Structure 1
C-alpha cells in the first residue's frame, strides 16, 4: 500500500481541524535514537493534549494515507521510533498527555496518560503509599505509553512481571481513528478478545495507546541488597534457586554481572564506586523486599551462609544503608553507559530457559572466539533468563576495524539462541532493527497470524510502517 508524505499540504488539512499549538516542525530529537544507527525523516510533529485530538490526527492520517510514528520518550534501542525509508511520516508525540488521572490506593491501581514519564508514575505511586515496580535505566525519560507499547522488562520482572503484567486496562486510538475505551480497573474480565494484550508489545503498529490503568503493589516493609561473588554462571543459577527456596517471591531482583563489565566501568567511569577492590569474574546483585516482621539484612546473611556451605559463593557485601544500596545499583545501572563509551561491535538482547543460560554462555564464548579476538560483556536479568550479550573489540582496536564482522557475529549468536529454545528479543522489541530476525526465527504460523491481525486492524498500513513487520 503506497503512503503519502506528511507534507505542507497535509499540514494545512490538519490545521483546519486542530488547535494551532498541536503541530510544529520536527526538532532533531524526534529524528534520533540512542544508538545513532538511524536518522529519521519527518517534517511534522503533532503534540496532542487529549485522546480526542489523537483520534482526529489518526482519522485524518488514515483518510489521506499518511504514515504515523507514535513517539514516547525516544529511548527505544531497536529503531521503533524513527524511520529513514519511505514517505516522511507524521510523528505523533504523547509527551503533552502527561496527567496522572487518578490513584486508588485501596485497589492498588493508578490511571495515567501515556506521556507520563516512568519515574513520575513511580513517584505518584510512592506518594500514595504504593509501589509501581517497573524499573529500568531510562526511567527518567521513558514514558509509560512506550513502556506498554514495547512490553518493557527491567530489573523487577522476576517478582512483578513485565509491563504487560502491570496493566489492567487501556485507552487507545485504533488505526481508523476510533477510540477504544478500555480503561477498566478490573482484575477479571472475560468478555471476548483482550485488545489490551494485543496492543501491549505491538510497538505502535496496531494503534496509539493514550492512557492506562496500572497495577500497583504494597511497598515492601524492608528491602535488602547484596552483591554475591560466584565462581560461575552455573553457581549463580543454583544461588537463584536457593534464594527462592528460602525467600519465595520476596526476591525482587537477581542481576548477573561479569568482570568485563566492571573493568569497562573502571576504565570509563572511575568515579562510580565498586563494591570490591578487585572486580570478581562473576557476581550477582540480589535485592529482596520483605513483609513486616522479617529482617532483610538477616535474610541475606542466612542466604550467604547456606550458599557458602554449598560452595556457591566466595564473598559478599550486604548493604548496611540506603546509601550503600544505591551505590550497588549505581554500578549495575552504569554498566550500559560504560558499554556505550567502549563501543560494541554487536549487542544482543536475548533470553533463554534458565536451565540453558550457563551452557549458552559457554557455547557463545566459543562461537565468538572462532570469529576473532574480541572481548565479551555478558550481564543482565538472570532471574528471568534475560542476558545482554555484547561483543567488543580488544583494547587498542576500534569498532570500525570489525564493522564487516557485525552481521556474522549477530547471526551466529542468534542462531545459537534459536537452537537452544531462546528469543533474540527479550525486552527491547523488534522495531526496525530486528525485522529480519523475526522473519528468520519466527514461527511461520505466528507470523501469518501477525500479518493477518495487522491487515485487519490497519489495512492501509499507516501505523508505524516498517516496524515489526516489513512494509
Structure 2
C-alpha cells in the first residue's frame, strides 16, 4: 500500500493524503458514531481531474474506494469498512460554485460545496435552492445528490432528484463523464444521470452538479394544530391543498409522545391544547393573501372537527418556537434512552391502518415499547422510532416494522438511504427481480466492485 499512498501524494500533494489514525478519525466514523472503519488512507483531491487520477491509481492496485462528502448521512453509506483495506476519497476540496444563472434559475456547483453556503449565495440573486435538511451546515452537494436527500421541502419541490439537471461523474475506471447541461428539456436518449442520483457512490463519484433553482418566496405563514387522529390529519392535508394550494410547502405530522418528550427533556412547551397528534403546516409564496388562506384553513378545520386547537404564528419568534418543538424531537429521544429508528414511507391514505398494525406487531414482541413517531405527512414519510424502554428485541422489532411496511407497499428507506445499516433488510424485503436489476447495473458500471463496496448492494453483487 505504500506505493499507492506515494502515488496519491504525487497526484494531490502529500499533505492531502492522511494516514495517521488521529487524522483519519472523523472520516472513518459515521455520523451516529456506530460504525468505525479502518481505511488505508484518506485522500482529498482538489479537482475532477485529480479525482479521476485517484480512481485510476486505486484501480491499478485493486483497492476499493469510499467516496465521502460531509459525512452527515444516517445509514453509514460513506463510512469505510471496519475490515480495512479501502481508500476514502473526500471531496471537501471540490467546493467551488462555478456559476449562477438567475434568469435560467440554475446553479453549477462542485460536489464538496456546503449546502448552506450554496443556498445563501443563490439567495443573494433572489433565488432558492429548495433542499431543507437538518445537516445543511455540513452536508455537501455531492452527498445530497448521491443520497437523493429529502427533508422538509419535498412536499412542494420533490426530492433532490427532481432538482438535478446535469451531473459530472467519474466512473469506476476513471473516465470523466461531463453531463453538466443547464437544460430543463433534454430528450436525446437515456437519462443516465438518474443512475447516480441516490446510488450512494456505488456506481461512480459525483464531482459536480447543475441544480434547478426556484424564485425565493417573499413571505411565509406557519400554523400549528392538534388533531384527534391520523385520519383527521390526512383529511386536513386534503383541505390544506384545496384552500392553500401550491403555496403549501410543509405538512409535518408529530405524535403527542414526541411533543411530550421535548417538553420533558428539553423544556419547551406546546402553545396549543393537546390532541392525539400535532401538525406543523407552512406555506410560502411571493403573492399576497397567504395569511388569509391559512386562517381560512384553520377556521374550517376547527369548524369541521378536524382540529382540536390551532394557532397561526403572528411573529418570527412564534415561528421559531413552533419549529423548535419539531427540531428538538431527536435530541429529546436521545435523552430518553435507547430507540430503534425507522425511516419509512407509506401511502398517505393507508397511514392510519399502518400505524395500528405496526403498533400491534411491535407491542406483541416488546410490550414495554413506546413510539416516537414524526415526519412528513405530505409525502408519506414517517420517522417511526420505537422507544425500547429496556427491551432487547432489536432485530425482531425491525423485522416486524418492515414486514408491515412491505405489506402496505411502502419503502423501508424513504430518504436516509440503505448504506450499511439497512442492507440486510433491503436484501430480505426487496423483490428478487429488482435486486437482479440493481446487480446488473452495478456489474456494467463497476464490474470489479471497487466503488463503495458493501453499501446499498452486497459485497458480491454478481
Question: What interval of TM-score do these two structures reach, taking the shorter chain for normalisation?
Answer: over 0.9
State how far apart, in whole Å, the 2-side matches of 1:267 and 1:63 are. Answer: 56
Specify which of 181, 184, 205 is matched with residue 178 of structure 2: 181
State the alpha-carbon separation in 2 of the partners of residues 269 and 8 from structure 1: 50
Partner of 1:197: 194
Q: What does residue range 128-143 of structure 1 map to in structure 2 within 5 Å?
A: 128-143=125-140
| 1:246 alignment partner, one of 223, 226, 243 | 243
Residues 166-315 of structure 1 aligned to structure 2 (within 5 Å)? 166-270=163-267, 272=268, 274-276=270-272, 279-292=274-287, 294-315=288-309
Q: Distance in 2 between matches of 1:157 and 1:197?
A: 18
Q: Which residue of 2 aligns with 1:49?
A: 46
Pairwise mapping of residues 417-456 of structure 1 onto structure 2 (< 5 A)? 417-456=405-444
**Structure 1 residue runs of 4 or more that deviate by more than 4 Å after TM superposition:** none
Secondary structure (helix, strand or coil) at the match of 1:316 reads strand
Contact 2:68/2:88 (CA < 8 Å) preserved in 1? yes
SS in structure 2 at match of 1:284: strand
Give the paired residue count: 455
1:356 & 1:259 partners in 2: Cα distance?
20
Q: Which runs of 5+ in 1 are unaligned?
A: 1-6, 395-400
1:468 aligns to 2:456 (yes or no): yes
1:370 is aligned to 2:364: yes
Deviations 1:79-109 (A, max 9, x none): 1111334442111111111111111011111
TM-score (norm 2): 0.95
What is the SS of the residue equivalent to 1:413?
Answer: helix
Matches of 2:134 and 2:375, distance apart in 1: 12
Q: Secondary structure at the match of 1:16?
A: helix
Alignment-derived partner of residue 100 in structure 2: 103
CA shift, 1:432, in A, is 0.9
What is the root-mean-square deviation of aligned Cα atoms in Å?
Answer: 1.4
Query: What SS class does the counterpart of residue 136 from structure 2 fall into?
Result: coil
Q: Is the 8 A contact 2:9 2:15 kept in 1?
A: no
Task: Determine whether 1:35 maps to 2:23.
Answer: no
Q: Which runs of 5 or more residues in structure 2 are unaligned? A: none
Are the equivalent residues in 2 in contact too, given 1:55–1:173 (CA < 8 A)?
Answer: yes
Structure 1 contact 259–279 (Cα < 8 Å) conserved: yes
Could you tell me whether the CA contact under 8 Å between 1:222 and 1:295 is conserved in 2? no
Contact residue 244 and residue 290 of structure 2 kept, 8 A:
no
Name the SS for the 2:103 alignment partner.
helix
Deviation of 1:307 after TM superposition, in Å, equals 1.2
- Offset, 1:280: 4.2
Q: For the residues of structure 1 that align with 2:192 and 2:128, how far apart are their CA atoms? A: 26
CA separation in 1, counterparts of 2:7 and 2:261?
52
- Alpha-carbon distance, 1:335 to partner: 1.0
Counterpart-to-counterpart distance in 2, 1:109 and 1:331 = 34
> Quick check: 1:157 aligned with 2:154?
yes
| TM-score when normalising by structure 1 | 0.94
Are residues 1:8 and 2:2 paired?
yes
Query: Quick check: 1:74 aligned with 2:74?
Result: no
Matched residues in 2 for 1:423 and 1:344: separation?
24
